[in-house]
Amino acid sequence: MKAAPAIIWDLPTRVFHWLLVISFALAWITFDDNRYLFAHVYAGYLFLSLLVFRFVWGAVGTHYARFRTFAYDWTSVTDYLKGLLSGKASRHIGHNPVGGWAIFIMLTLGLLIGITGLLVLGGEEGHGPLRGLISFEIGTGSKEFHEVFAWIMLVIVIVHVFGVIGESIVHRENLIWSMLTGRKEDVLEATQVRGHGLLGVLLLTIVFVSALFYFRGYLIETTDSPFQPFRGPSLPDNATWRSECGDCHLAFHPTLLPKRSWQLMLNTLDDHFGEQLEYDVETLAELKPFLIENAAESGLTEAAHKVNRSIASDQTPLRITKTKYWVKKHIGINDEYWDNEKIASKTNCEACHLDAEEGTFEDSGMRLPNIKK
């Protein structure tokens, strides 16, 4: 049998590999800024779905894609490493022992990242398939794990890339190119696998169409009706509160301050930030329970939890904009914005938050207005 270029990596495996790279990179680019949470979550869904596919393909796929062809024991790993050090590591058509281990570790870490991501999304953000099933605390707790796993994964990815480059040099073959074309030079034709081109194209098409579907809101949004990808829960509402407390400014939802703050505010109506407020007994009888029952302690939104946690127990702030959480979230906003007439005041929440009226203050509802025009 002659030695010629042969297909080693079928198309589904290659599509999986490069889409995994793309989704991992997208997740890193978008993790830091809550405004990109929607894209980060997309990257996560894609990442997890790809892993699920890979586990199936590892069982039923073509020869080199199957897990059992690269499930090496530890001795093979040490032998391979010794070989590398003495400059005569044996060439493997499929994954070498170290590469095989790296892949199993990455697949496992990937699953852990995906699962903890779903926990954060469900618990802390109140979205995704686990919404309503897990507590806020579990959600925030999972975030630490999510991040640690992601960092470990990044380290392994870097090791993997160096491994691939190293092996390419040692054996004088471009392994990155192989993962693109699926082919390797100088292998026995008998080792060639089926390309499964149709399945590969199908995978690509599914990912492309679902991405279009997921992001369709951005494609059809207009300046008058901006797209808000995640909608918060529908919060308790009250007509009296809306009309009385929304008279001079946005009716700030009760979830934005703790009970004691609303209590104090209602007790000091004669000096409400320089204004004198007067309500009859009936109005007060409606305002008071509405404000108290739905205060930050209710934990109805992410902001409620976080505002509440950021206030020391011996403090009773009357301003949302003076709470530690609010300050932390807005400290990065340039003075240019605060000085601009479109915003004018920190309390003008609706200038930047599409859902200020609803009181949900979702990450994805933030849109800094265009102050250049």
**Which tokens sit at 170?**
């040692």
Q: How far is the CB of 96 from ligand HEC (least distance, A)?
A: 43
Q: Which stretch binds ligand HEC (CB under 6 A): 27-35, 68-76, 82-90, 202-210?
A: 27-35
Q: How far is the CB of 57 from ligand HEC (least distance, A)?
A: 37
Cα–Cα separations (whole angstroms), residue 306 to 99, 145, 270: 43, 19, 30
Q: What is the dihedral of CA 344, 346, 348, 350, to 10 degrees?
A: 120
Within 8 A by CB and 6+ apart from 173, the residues are 184, 185, 186
**Which tokens sit at 151?**
């960092």
Within 8 A by CB and 6+ apart from 9, the residues are 17, 64, 65, 178, 179, 182, 193
Closest to ligand HEC by CB, 170 vs 264, is 264
Within 8 A by CB and 6+ apart from 316, the residues are 258, 260, 261, 264
**Which tokens sit at 210?**
């679902």
Site string for ligand HEC, 280-309 (x = CB under 6 A): -------x--------------xx------
Choose, by CB under 6 A, the member of 18, 212, 333, 339 that binds ligand HEC. 333
Query: Counting contacts by CB under 6 A, is residue 319 touching ligand HEC?
Result: yes
Choose, by CB under 6 A, the member of 104, 145, 215, 337 that binds ligand HEC. 337
Q: How far is the CB of 356 from ligand HEC (least distance, A)?
A: 7
Choose, by CB under 6 A, the member of 248, 268, 285, 293 that binds ligand HEC. 248
* CA–CA distance, 5 with 70 (Å, rounded to integer): 21
Q: How far is the CB of 58 from ligand HEC (least distance, A)?
A: 38
* CA–CA distance, 303 with 211 (Å, rounded to integer): 29
Site string for ligand HEC, 182-201 (x = CB under 6 A): --------------------
Choose, by CB under 6 A, the member of 4, 25, 33, 188 that binds ligand HEC. 33
Closest to ligand HEC by CB, 59 vs 248, is 248
Choose, by CB under 6 A, the member of 7, 43, 193, 349 that binds ligand HEC. 349
Rounded to 5°, the CA angle 18-180-197 comes to: 90
Q: Nearest Cα to 97, choosing from 64, 68, 72?
A: 72
Q: How many residues bind ligand HEC (CB under 6 A)?
A: 38
Closest to ligand HEC by CB, 191 vs 310, is 310
Closest to ligand HEC by CB, 174 vs 347, is 347
**Which tokens sit at 237?**
């509402």
Query: Counting contacts by CB under 6 A, is residue 316 touching ligand HEC?
Result: no
Residue 107 near residue 74 (C-beta atoms within 8 A): no
* CA–CA distance, 167 with 83 (Å, rounded to integer): 12
Query: Counting contacts by CB under 6 A, is residue 203 touching ligand HEC?
Result: no
Query: Counting contacts by CB under 6 A, is residue 329 touching ligand HEC?
Result: yes
* CA–CA distance, 129 with 290 (Å, rounded to integer): 31
**Residues forming the site for ligand HEC (CB under 6 A):** 33-35, 244-245, 247-249, 252, 256, 265, 272-273, 275, 277, 287, 302-303, 319-321, 329-330, 333, 337, 343, 345-349, 351-353, 361, 363, 366, 368
